[in-house]
Amino acid sequence: MPDSTKTLPDTSSTTAKTSVYENVIRQFSRAADLIGLVDNVRKILATPVNEITVHFPARMDDGRVEMFTGYRVQHNNALGPFKGGLRFHPDTDIDEVKALATWMTWKSAIADIPFGGGKGGVCIDPFKYSKTELERITRRFTYALGQNIGPEYDIPAPDVNTNGQVMAWILDTYLTSVQPQERGRCLHVVTGKPVGLGGSVGREKATGQGVVYCIEEWAKGKSVDLAKTSYFVQGFGNVGSWAARLMDQHGARLVAVEDVTGAIANPDGLDAEDLARYAKQNGGVYGYQKASAIDHETFLATEADIFIPSALENQITGKTASALRCKLVAEGANGPTDPFGDILLRKAGIDVLPDILANSGGVIVSYFEWLQNKRSEYWDLEEVDAKLYKKITAAYRRVRSAAQELDVDWRTAAYVVALRRLERCYVERGIFP
């Protein structure tokens, strides 16, 4: 391992604060130690292949020009092209993007899809800009990335505060750099596109759908009737709101929701569909009339069976994890639990379906979209959902077997599945020269 492992905070205190990339390295080290990962492979996987930072101008509606900073980190492409989302967030920095890119490598390996890991972002608060400004920012960012993305090289997708519209702007801008004869063959430079221009049906709900498929498997294993469970959700964007709507279809009771605007609760149950409509119209869940406002501490201590964090990193930490009363944490977000939070969840006997398994539905259906574009096909929703179910439940079983074999928590088991897959690839192909 590089020296970064030596600078990690002391684990004897579960309240130390870590950066997200330190979290990744710590998680990685735990699993690599456990399986005695081949040393050369360990060195390679501990460092991203490329870290790209771009500074670029974009014109505002009033004619001024503002400078922006964007990132694309390409962690690993041993199993296939770099793959992963792009986010717009004021806290996005290179450390975060490195962590997110690394998680994508593990995610694709666990799901057994032929992709590596990448991630990008622009450090902006997108709510401060008009739609036309966001379009120009997106297009200039794409232009600045140039040939660092490509349909067979590095394929962005939506992430926090980005969506199909942003992907459409990226595609359209990227195509200007491609010979006219090639353009029809480049639709797969991004996934998560609107269905009208080559997106896949089922991609928008795919991450939430994958989370719920994993929760279904967990419930089967524990002989839990989901119709009798209650749950609460943090983040009510694409992932959280879809997970909630799909949990509702099982008859589970949504009792609390938190997003950037605040937290709300109703112990009798919230209608996820209605709340999703409200949140879309009002920019968040706060103020929803069929619920009462609660504070963050009360939200975390919600009495419910399942917690679905679907917002940002480092929410369940050494400081907050002991507040949780649930039986299961199903991670819709990337990195919502830090290593100290993990220790406390283990001590409390709370099950964790880790992000790199539970939220892999998004990248799995991105893979299906990529394949459909390459083959000039359109699959229907039934086919997409059935294939997603097959892939993610197979991944679930691989992680469960590793957890049983090594008697470890599911996050470590998920890492073991990913690392063994990558180790096999490197050992078989060798390292040039």
Is residue 199 a contact point for ligand GLU (CB under 6 A)? no
Is residue 354 a contact point for ligand GLU (CB under 6 A)? no
The answer to whether 41 touches 50, Cβ cutoff 8 Å, is no
> Binding segment for ligand GLU among 88-96, 216-224, 262-270, 356-364 (CB under 6 A)?
356-364
> Binding segment for ligand GLU among 22-30, 42-50, 77-85, 263-271 (CB under 6 A)?
77-85
Is residue 238 a contact point for ligand GLU (CB under 6 A)? no
Instruction: Tell which one of 42, 75, 83, 139 touches ligand GLU (CB under 6 A).
Output: 83
CB of 87 to ligand GLU, least distance (A): 8
- Tell me how far CA of residue 382 lies from CA of 20, 137, 208, 245, 365, in angstroms: 37, 36, 16, 18, 13
In the DSSP assignment, the letter for residue 264 is E
| One-letter identity of residue 168 | A
Nearer to ligand GLU, 58 or 149 (CB): 149
State how far the Cα of 411 lies from the Cα of 85, in Å rounded to an integer. 21
CB of 124 to ligand GLU, least distance (A): 17
212, 215, 221, 222: CA torsion to nearest 10:
-130
Is residue 89 a contact point for ligand GLU (CB under 6 A)? no
Is residue 72 a contact point for ligand GLU (CB under 6 A)? no
Is residue 310 a contact point for ligand GLU (CB under 6 A)? no
Nearer to ligand GLU, 206 or 270 (CB): 206
Nearer to ligand GLU, 318 or 354 (CB): 354
Of residues 327-346, those binding ligand GLU (CB under 6 A): 334
Is residue 157 a contact point for ligand GLU (CB under 6 A)? yes
Nearer to ligand GLU, 80 or 192 (CB): 192
CB of 361 to ligand GLU, least distance (A): 8
Nearer to ligand GLU, 19 or 200 (CB): 200
The answer to whether 307 touches 283, Cβ cutoff 8 Å, is no
Q: Provide DSSP, 33-92.
A: HHHT--HHHHHHHTS-SEEEEEEEEEE-TTS-EEEEEEEEEEEE-SSSSEEEEEEE-TT-
| One-letter identity of residue 371 | L
User: Phi and psi (nearest 5°) for 158?
Assistant: -70, 155
Buried b (16+ CB within 10 A) or exposed e, 200-236: bbbbbbbbbbbbbbbbbbbbeeeebebeebbbbbbbb
- Crossing angle of helices 20-35 and 339-348, rounded to 10°: 60
Is residue 321 a contact point for ligand GLU (CB under 6 A)? no
Is residue 159 a contact point for ligand GLU (CB under 6 A)? yes
Q: Is 391 a catalytic residue?
A: no
Helix (H, G, I), strand (E, B) or coil at 132: helix
State how far the Cα of 336 lies from the Cα of 333, in Å rounded to an integer. 6
CB of 126 to ligand GLU, least distance (A): 15
The answer to whether 12 touches 37, Cβ cutoff 8 Å, is no
CB of 60 to ligand GLU, least distance (A): 27
Nearest residue to ligand GLU, scored by beta-carbon proximity: 85
Instruction: Tell which one of 48, 81, 84, 336 touches ligand GLU (CB under 6 A).
Output: 84
Is residue 314 a contact point for ligand GLU (CB under 6 A)? no
Is residue 363 a contact point for ligand GLU (CB under 6 A)? yes
CB of 72 to ligand GLU, least distance (A): 13
Is residue 191 a contact point for ligand GLU (CB under 6 A)? yes
Q: Provide DSSP, 343-399.
A: HHHHHHT-EEE-HHHHTTHHHHHHHHHHHHHHHT----HHHHHHHHHHHHHHHHHHH
| One-letter identity of residue 2 | P
The answer to whether 388 touches 211, Cβ cutoff 8 Å, is no
Asked whether the bond before 433 is cis by omega within 30 degrees of 0, the reply is yes
Query: 119, 193, 205, 391: which one is catalytic?
Result: 119
Nearer to ligand GLU, 27 or 334 (CB): 334
> Binding segment for ligand GLU among 46-54, 226-234, 240-248, 361-369 (CB under 6 A)?
361-369
Nearer to ligand GLU, 151 or 362 (CB): 362
Nearer to ligand GLU, 83 or 400 (CB): 83
249, 112, 184, 101: CA torsion to nearest 10:
90
Instruction: Tell which one of 48, 85, 116, 336 touches ligand GLU (CB under 6 A).
Output: 85
Q: Provide DSSP, 199-242.
A: PPTTTTTHHHHHHHHHHHHHHHHTT--GGG-EEEEE--SHHHHH
Hey, which residues are catalytic here? 119
Chain residues in the site for ligand GLU (CB under 6 A): 83-85, 157, 159, 191-192, 334, 359, 362-363, 366
